[in-house]
Structure 1
């Protein structure tokens, strides 16, 4: 396909506000469908393009579906978003088991003070690991700022979760440093169940949030390598 028709397809899809990695896949489908219509039904480009747009109209049309989010989103993007979230959730659920096993092992092996330090060390290490990964690939992550008018990949919305959870992280550290015996006893179920839950929940939030953020970063880096050749078609921010 020549540059002009390809540009028309690209501009049309850009108007639909698709993430660029998704747009690239949809563009391939558009080109394939248009070529098939031109070759098998002897249609010119405009006819084939219009027919292809009509076939995708319902999937690409943004609308509010009555959910808590007031954002207008197409069914196609809801499907993509759900798949991305499930991927990150599965990663976080799978790997959160390891730090939890370590924490509950420390609960049985150490006295209160050592247990507090041990738990804090695990949680800090997880936060630092995600932050180091961000710094190591900073040139790739900063592309989001260079192209603020576009969503390069849906994963970019979750790469900073590890920063958002810093506040509960600090709260957890203060608890374990100031009252290690109290929280060790609570985690040993030497208290009521509600206190155990409210003690465990912030720890789970930090572990899960760090892993979810890391998974998003990992998936972003994979997708951004596909997107980079396409950036020449996008407008830089002023």
Structure 2
């Protein structure tokens, strides 16, 4: 298989709207499959490539994944995205759970509502500042994290760049949480006041969810950065 054939396969995959990181994975599989069909059936590249396209046809049908994409994406992209994002979500949940446990310990060790408010704000301030620090220390790759930034104007760099903006959502929510006192959780555990149960649950779990979103955004950012590093030879 010569370079012209490989270029045709890549152009076909770009036409199917595959992000570059997924494209490079699929490209190797498709090229091998075309070559195997050529050899086994003793046919030309064009014939083998056409047969391969038919075999992959169902993978390139457009589908929705509204949780992360506003536009339709190929089925194969959805499969890979779900698998990779599930890993990031599990990590985000685990780290946010640790933060929740720390929050409960802070309630236990607080001698007054005012002391817990300081702890509450300080803990959530960490999650407010973290995204800003990530951006500050990675300012050189700002142009590569735009939602619509494409490799040579033809293909998105990675599946992760579509959701970099999720950090903005998380950070905005954290800014509102930091302004709160968090008193209801303190009152529930320290005064056993059942009337504050609903507000206490909101006080505990709203920061948990917001922190999980922030962590997801940061992990997503670093996965995108890692992918960019791997793809640097193609840029």
TM-score, reference length from structure 2: 0.85
Contact 2:20 2:155 survives alignment (8 Å): yes
What is the root-mean-square deviation in Å for CA atoms of aligned residues? 2.6
Q: Deviations over 1:118-151 (max 9, x none)?
A: 1211222123223322332233342244527632
Q: Name stretches of at least 5 consecutive residues in structure 1 with no aligned partner.
A: 232-238
Q: Distance in 1 between matches of 2:133 and 2:120?
A: 20
Is residue 14–residue 23 contact of structure 2 (8 Å, CA) maintained in 1? yes
Match of 2:140 in 1: 139
Distance 1:226 1:68 in 2: 23
Q: Which moved more, 1:17-26 or 1:34-43?
A: 34-43
1:235 alignment partner in structure 2: none
State the match for 1:198 in structure 2: 202
Distance of 2:86 and 2:104 partners within structure 1: 27
Q: Aligned-pair distance for 1:67?
A: 9.8
1:34-183 superposed matches below 5 A: 34-63=34-63, 71-110=71-110, 111-145=112-146, 146-147=149-150, 150-176=155-181, 181-183=183-185
Query: Alpha-carbon deviations, 1:164-187, whole Å to 9, x = none?
Result: 1233223222221xxx54452146
CA distance in 1, matches of 2:124, 2:219: 17
TM-score (structure 1 length as normaliser): 0.84
**Unaligned residue ranges in structure 2 (runs of 5+):** none
Distance 2:61 2:77 in 1: 10
**Alignment length (residue pairs):** 228
Provide the rounded CA distance (Å) in 1 between the counterparts of 2:16 and 2:80: 14
Alpha-carbon distance in structure 2 between the residues aligned to 1:202 and 1:213: 17
Counterpart residue number, 2:5: 5
Give CA-to-partner distance per residue, 1:186-237, whole Å, 9 cap, x none: 4656334322222223211221111111211122122222222223xxxxxx
Does the CA contact (< 8 Å) of 1:38 and 1:48 recur in 2? Answer: yes
Query: Which range moves more in the overlay, 21-30 or 98-107?
Result: 98-107
